[in-house]
Amino acid sequence: MSLHAAYDPDNIFAKIIRGEMPCVKVYEDDDILSFMDIFPQTEGHCLVIPKAAGATNLLDAPAEMLGTVIAGTQRIARAVAASLKPDGVRIAQFNGAPAGQTVYHLHFHILPVYEGRAVAAHENAGPAATGELKALAEKIRAAL
């Protein structure tokens, strides 16, 4: 999808926000939702999204929304670091299909990185078992 495509209210993350599709939730408030990525590139890979519809990516998001989402991303990344004890944390964000974006609702990736353990390539990771994702989400939540 183009960098400047219109927002599709039926994208998968919009359905998750509306409760039409399930997710393994890490955190939710009035403005943001964080949940486990179902194709994790590393153990503990989670996503942070604004709950408001409309922004497909970082370029078309209002600055205020970005501020809220990035502050939430920092908070959840801190909880990921405290609970899962990775050696590093990667924050990733893609804009437009050629850049690697596959879901067109603004989101930030939080990827805990562990020394000696590979990070699967974006768009090339296998699905995770829901039970494992729930256990990881519980650990992260406990550190929020």
Q: If binding is defined by CB under 6 A, does position 101 make contact with ligand 5GP? A: yes
- Active-site residue, 107 included: yes
Beta strands in 46-87 (DSSP E): 46-50
Rounded to whole angstroms, how far apart are CA atoms 87 and 105? 29
Query: Kind and range of the H or E element at 25?
Result: strand 25-28
Rounded to whole angstroms, how far apart are CA atoms 81 and 68? 20
Task: Mark the segment that binds ligand 5GP (CB under 6 A) among 32-40, 60-68, 75-83, 111-119.
Answer: 32-40
Interface residue with ligand 5GP among 48, 68, 94, 140 (CB under 6 A) is 94
Nearer to ligand 5GP, 21 or 71 (CB): 21
Q: If binding is defined by CB under 6 A, does position 12 make contact with ligand 5GP? A: yes
Rounded to whole angstroms, how far apart are CA atoms 77 and 110? 6
Least distance (Å) from ligand 5GP to the CB of residue 23? Answer: 5
Burial class (CB in 10 A: 0-12, 13-18, 19+), 79: buried
Q: If binding is defined by CB under 6 A, does position 89 make contact with ligand 5GP? A: no
Interface residue with ligand 5GP among 66, 70, 103, 120 (CB under 6 A) is 103
